[in-house]
Structure 1
């Protein structure tokens, strides 16, 4: 068995899952990582929404900067490629005028924070975002703004040579939330990746890892 990479969303995890997550070789969490009390403490990377209001809330307040996951992490991953999101701004001004700050970029601020705190900073490239879009297409995503940070991060792990050969496990994902993300399609896509043996899923009701043939229909 090679390395195990855990991608831990901010949704529900089963009691006892924390020990399995902490035993992984590399753990990625997201933004404010609000479920760490139940989902273990190990954090190697924190993936962040580096544009718009989420970025501002994290960078301009003490909660994110001083949180245990951010202090523990050796890497900060900016999920949104700045050039990709700059290119989205004109079309969103027409289709979603209420998202006037959605593409406001804070990538350099996250990079500065990482450098000042001895952490590596990565920007997930636009090609990974495009791969997630392409993978969603067969799953009837309908109209959406962008894939979720969880899905883009999953595709980063699946396509990054550094993680080649690793077992990839998703936990803490309900595939629910903002309607600008195609969550129903993401659920179907994640289930199909599990069925194909590319990832494994941790059940939200028990700390078990589903093998591909027994993956739950709800995804992660």
Structure 2
């Protein structure tokens, strides 16, 4: 990314607050999954859309004939799948099934790049949050993406603003540990964390 690039990482907390102008002013706007708040308090632009590629949510999207016509999908400039493909011998159970190939095949006709986060980065991010949480935990797509973006950019080159991260939801994520990581990155000057409305 060019020096001085501004990146808005927009989470899915419903109480994001009205940050539309600040989000839309960023050079890059990264959103996740169904992107609640798009078109309202969370702004109107999506340059990169991160879509969970393991488990039942992607299966539902693939079964939906209108999936690629949803606003956030149709207007995205690029797609990022946060979990690396699983090896063939991996557990094929529905909760963790790998849909990477099917998702990429569905998205590529839109003419936008489709990328997968590098496996070494996702492994490092997952190990860090597991150690911090003191228990097995699946990293959230928001945490994985932010971790990867910060890992591959120079601190002086990119300004990261994080909006709409409520650190709550599915119990399989270690949201307290993820919150501490974001707060540590904010304290180190790597990002600005905009708290959600109380």
TM norm structure 1: 0.80
Q: How many residues align?
A: 194
Distance 1:164 1:49 in 2: 30
Distance 1:134 1:59 in 2: 30
For residues 188-214 of structure 1, give each alpha carbon's deviation from its aligned partner in whole angstroms, at most 9, with x where no partner exists: 1111111011111123239xxxxxxxx
C-alpha contact 2:56 2:96 (8 A) present in aligned 1: no
Partner-residue secondary structure (3-state), 2:182: helix
C-alpha contact 1:131 1:155 (8 A) present in aligned 2: no
Q: Give 1:136 shift.
A: 2.5
What pairs up with 1:39-50 in 2 under 5 angstroms? 39-50=42-53
Pairwise CA RMSD: 2.4
Q: Give 1:117 shift.
A: 0.6
Partner-residue secondary structure (3-state), 1:24: coil
More helix by share: 1
Q: Give 1:62 shift.
A: 4.3
1:117 to 106, 110, 118: 110
Q: Give 1:104 shift.
A: 1.3
C-alpha contact 1:8 1:29 (8 A) present in aligned 2: yes
Distance 1:166 1:137 in 2: 27
TM norm structure 2: 0.88
- The answer to whether the aligner puts 1:108 opposite 2:101 as a matched pair is yes
Distance 1:109 1:137 in 2: 29
1:211 match: none
Distance 1:192 1:138 in 2: 15
1:191 match: 183
- The answer to whether the aligner puts 1:135 opposite 2:128 as a matched pair is yes
Distance 1:19 1:173 in 2: 18
What pairs up with 1:200-215 in 2 under 5 angstroms? 200-205=192-197
